[in-house]
Structure 1
Amino acid sequence: MKTQFEKAELFKKLHEEKSTFIIPNPWDVATTKIVENLGFKALATSSASIAFSEGVSDNQLPLDNVLQYLEKISRATNLPVSADLGNGFYDEPKKIFDTIKLAANTGIVGASIEDVKNNESYSIEFSAERITAATEAIASLDFPFLLTARADNYTIGKTDLKDTIKRLQAYQSAGADVLFAPGIKSIKDIQSILYEIDKPLNVMMGLKDCHLDFESLSKIGVRRISLGASLFRNTMTSFIETAKSLNQNGKFDFAQTAISSDALNELLNI
């Protein structure tokens, strides 16, 4: 198994290269092993997927529970893991410092921090202070750690591209390594962001009514493509539809297309 330092170096190199890569979002040991064996180069957790798997809504799991997931996932793979830490679990910058330090002890080599709480954005200035505190925590680590700063105004219905760009520029100045504005769906808007920043941009796909593809995003210079909770939701869609059919029709033909135990054993290396 690769060391945390080796994973961190690999993750850093992926962001320094010019090529675009997809960073899928598994939510447990099994899905982590599967995405690794399917050939992806890195992975990220999704706070929503982990929360849903515990039967609670996004950002409702305590930090200690999330840290346990991060440790299990990191230990299960040779791939670098970046953690979705929501809003950092606290408002105060000094507490963001503590969150990063605790999360880094789980084996992850990167993390993202949001700038919203309870469907309201923090001010740009306060958000930048939080990013600065995170970078100070990272400076105390003995391995490279990539901080992704998120401008989440689109996810809470405030579709103001100028505000998004202003936020990302502030977070870049505060020391973020990667910038991320989930909810942006058009090539034109993504290009507008790319023109105004100097750090790698993460774009989230798996969004409804968004039909962009890897080729188009790669062509304009997007460095990283994540999927948020969409893989989890897609998995749940299949589970729910199958369970509904069983209950309503009493038929078991779903087994004809289900993956075999042998195939799963192979993907899980067991």
Structure 2
Amino acid sequence: MTGVAERREAFRAMHEAGCFLLPNPWDVGTAKYLASQGFAALATTSSGAAWSRGLADGAMDLDAVLAHLSEIVGATDLPVNADFGHGYGSDAEGVMAAVARCCDTGVAALSVEDATGDPARPLFTLEDAVARIRAARAACDAAPGRAMLVGRAECFLVGHPDPLAESLRRIAAYAEAGAEVLYVPGIATPEQIEAVVRTASPLPVNLLVSRPVGLTMEAIAALGIRRVSVGGALAGVAWGAVGRAVAAMKAGRFDELGTRMPGGELDRLFAG
């Protein structure tokens, strides 16, 4: 298996030019399947992992998240970008300790977001969020080969009244604090994407495409995006297929089962 430091270096190099797709498996099987399809790197999804355990997004504790990351990292030789929530620490010191443990799983990169999970105060103050990014940066720098740090502004997802302006303010601060990739989940229009890319420059930007947005990879690349992830969308697609098949069976029909991937094909993949 490729060494952790080498995978981190390779992943960092992927961000230097062009635009690549970073699909999101939610278990070992989907990680192995996506690796077999020729992707150069993978990213975890907190929502997909939680749903596979019968939990809501965000309900996995730190130990469960770390175990999941270790499984995904061990499933393939590809670099893995970890969805690491808000850093699993009540303060900057706690974030630093948790991120160090995250790096120990062998991930090539990890994201730290500024959403608190508390509806009464959905975002950390900018001062607190910056302190958490700085703490995560210190832990990433101490890891062999230096794990990459992704700074996420969650303004669109938490219903901020002026999400684009606040996101731009925050990603500029996260870049100064040490984030190497910037990420504003929820942007979808060319105008929003261009504004984020312009503010982030020269740092690379991750674009989340979790639903059809009318943009192809070619168009997204032309807007200056360096990497595209899909979050929990693939897991949602799988759950959607299960839901349609179950609804059909409850109605006395089994036609949806014809859309399944053949078991023999899966056995050949996982036996390799």
TM-score in terms of structure 1 length:
0.95
- The percentage of counterpart residues that share the same residue type is 31
1:23 is matched with 22
Whole-angstrom CA distance in 1 between matches of 2:18 and 2:81: 19
Whole-angstrom CA distance in 1 between matches of 2:270 and 2:208: 26
1:199 is matched with 203
Whole-angstrom CA distance in 1 between matches of 2:269 and 2:209: 24
C-alpha contact (below 8 Å) 2:5/2:145 kept by paired residues: yes
Whole-angstrom CA distance in 1 between matches of 2:91 and 2:246: 44
The range that moved more, 220-229 or 254-263, is: 254-263
1:174 is matched with 177
Whole-angstrom CA distance in 2 between matches of 1:217 and 1:203: 9
Whole-angstrom CA distance in 2 between matches of 1:256 and 1:58: 30
C-alpha contact (below 8 Å) 1:12/1:144 kept by paired residues: no
Can you list the C-alpha shifts for 1:62-90, whole angstroms capped at 9, x where unaligned? 10011111111101111100111111122
How many pairs are equivalent? 267
Structure 1: unaligned runs, 5 residues or longer: none
Structure 2: unaligned runs, 5 residues or longer: none
C-alpha contact (below 8 Å) 2:245/2:257 kept by paired residues: no
TM-score in terms of structure 2 length:
0.95
Whole-angstrom CA distance in 2 between matches of 1:87 and 1:4: 23
C-alpha contact (below 8 Å) 2:149/2:179 kept by paired residues: yes
1:60 is matched with 59
Superposition map of 1:1-270 within 5 A = 1-16=1-16, 18-117=17-116, 118-119=118-119, 120-158=122-160, 159-197=162-200, 198-207=202-211, 210-249=213-252, 251-270=253-272
Whichever residue aligns with residue 264 of structure 1, its letter is L
Specify the SS of the correspondent of 1:121.
coil
Distance 1:266 1:10, change over 3 A: farther
Deviating beyond 6 angstroms after TM superposition, the runs of 4 or more aligned structure 1 residues are none
Distance 1:224 1:51, change over 3 A: same
